[in-house]
């Protein structure tokens, strides 16, 4: 993993996932370790973020490193017309590692080609969000004790939701059953279903969020992504397609955990927050430990 970029979840092997998850567990037990002293990490966010940016920055601080960067491109020379290539070529002269979120699919891969420092994709359009995926794997393994043979419900915006695309590819290696719950206009893209067919992984598509969830080990809820719709009317039609409420969880399995990459809008009612099956804020915390592990391994510190 040393000096390798992380652009897609497929860039790392199953063995590398486990290495990251095991190290994240160590960091959760002992989060303040000065392993990144003398390292500078660049945090370049061309698109809004709360959890990804702040958990990465927390992770760097806990490891004793320093962060440079920006949280909106309007404050940088991009607003004067500078290209992504020139921005990356410049920042790679300053920092040892670059974390980048960008609205355009493929931008992170492009950055990794021009940079001589490793790039971490913190989300590129509706394509991939691999560090979210690794913290999701960490959360699933921590709550279920295994990644194998689980019944996973992916709910909401399966078309534009980059987190579910990364999660599908990673979890497909652990013999799951997938249930996709979405409005017809936001179905899981065909290329991902073809991938599951090639691997012989079972999946079912549902229009409704109903009693089928009583068989779930994990319900992974996603926000309908307003910013990815070209026609606002299309968004209005589906924005409240599913709302998970506490009473819907009465007959669910005792081991069930509800995950959400967040931010949430309406798709999980706040009455679920106090249910012991709600795990999304713990999941957000797990992002710090997982990102500490990813950076320590990519920089060859651990």
Interaction site with ligand CP (CB under 6 A): 49-52, 123, 132, 261-263
| Rounded Cα gap, residues 284 and 101, in angstroms | 17
Q: Give the shortest CB-175-to-ligand CP separation in angstroms.
A: 26
Q: Give the shortest CB-190-to-ligand CP separation in angstroms.
A: 25
Q: Which is nearer to ligand CP, 51 or 195 (CB)?
A: 51
Q: Give the shortest CB-276-to-ligand CP separation in angstroms.
A: 22
Here the tokens at position 71 are 């949280």
Q: Which is nearer to ligand CP, 51 or 253 (CB)?
A: 51
Q: Give the shortest CB-162-to-ligand CP separation in angstroms.
A: 9
Q: Which is nearer to ligand CP, 87 or 163 (CB)?
A: 163
Q: Report the residue count for the chain.
A: 302
| Rounded Cα gap, residues 187 and 159, in angstroms | 5
Q: Output the CA torsion sign for 159, 283, 106, 82.
A: positive
| Rounded Cα gap, residues 210 and 73, in angstroms | 42
Q: Give the shortest CB-138-to-ligand CP separation in angstroms.
A: 14
Q: Which is nearer to ligand CP, 92 or 131 (CB)?
A: 131
Residue 22: count other Cβ atoms within 10 Å of its Cβ: 12
Q: Give the shortest CB-129-to-ligand CP separation in angstroms.
A: 6
Q: Which is nearer to ligand CP, 55 or 252 (CB)?
A: 55
Here the tokens at position 32 are 């303040």
141-145 LR contacts (CB < 8 Å, sep 24+): 141/21, 142/25, 142/286, 143/255, 143/257, 143/279, 144/217, 144/218, 144/255, 144/257
Q: Which of 218, 123, 128, 121 is nearest to 164 (CA)?
A: 128
Q: Which is nearer to ligand CP, 140 or 201 (CB)?
A: 140
Q: Which is nearer to ligand CP, 106 or 263 (CB)?
A: 263
Edge to edge, the sheet with strand 66-70 lists 66-70, 40-45, 97-102, 119-124
Here the tokens at position 231 are 């026609």
Q: Give the shortest CB-43-to-ligand CP separation in angstroms.
A: 11
Q: Give the shortest CB-210-to-ligand CP separation in angstroms.
A: 26
Q: Which is nearer to ligand CP, 138 or 203 (CB)?
A: 138
First-last CA distance in the chain = 10
Q: Which of 219, 14, 189, 4 is nearest to 105 (CA)?
A: 189
């Amino acid at each position: 993993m040393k000096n390798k970029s992380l652009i897609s979840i497929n860039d790392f092997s199953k063995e590398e996932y486990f290495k990251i998850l095991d190290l994240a567990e160590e960091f959760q037990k002992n989060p303040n370790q000065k392993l990144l002293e003398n390292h500078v990490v660049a945090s370049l966010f061309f698109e809004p973020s709360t959890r990804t940016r702040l958990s990465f920055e927390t992770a760097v601080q806990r490891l004793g490193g320093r962060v440079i960067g920006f949280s909106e491109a309007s404050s940088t020379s991009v607003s004067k017309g500078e290209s992504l290539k020139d921005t990356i070529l410049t920042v790679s002269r300053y920092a040892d590692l670059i974390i980048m979120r960008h609205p355009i699919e493929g931008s992170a891969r492009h950055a990794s080609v021009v940079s001589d420092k490793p790039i971490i994709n913190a989300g590129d359009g509706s394509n991939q969000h691999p560090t979210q995926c690794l913290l999701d794997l960490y959360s699933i393994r921590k709550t279920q004790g295994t990644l194998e043979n689980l019944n996973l419900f992916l709910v909401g915006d399966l078309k534009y939701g980059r987190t579910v695309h990364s999660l599908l590819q990673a979890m497909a290696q652990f013999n799951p059953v997938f249930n996709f719950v979405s409005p017809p206009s936001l179905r899981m893209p065909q290329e991902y279903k073809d991938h599951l067919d090639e691997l012989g992984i079972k999946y079912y598509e549902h229009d409704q969020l109903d009693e089928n969830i009583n068989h779930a080990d994990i319900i992974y809820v996603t926000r309908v992504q307003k910013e990815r719709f070209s026609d606002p009317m299309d968004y209005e039609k589906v924005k409240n397609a599913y709302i998970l409420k506490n009473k819907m969880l009465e007959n669910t399995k005792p081991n069930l955990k509800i995950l959400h990459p967040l931010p949430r809008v309406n798709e999980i009612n706040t009455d679920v927050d106090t249910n012991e099956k709600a795990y999304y804020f713990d999941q957000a915390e797990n992002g710090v430990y997982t990102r500490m592990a990813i950076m320590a391994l990519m920089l060859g510190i651990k």
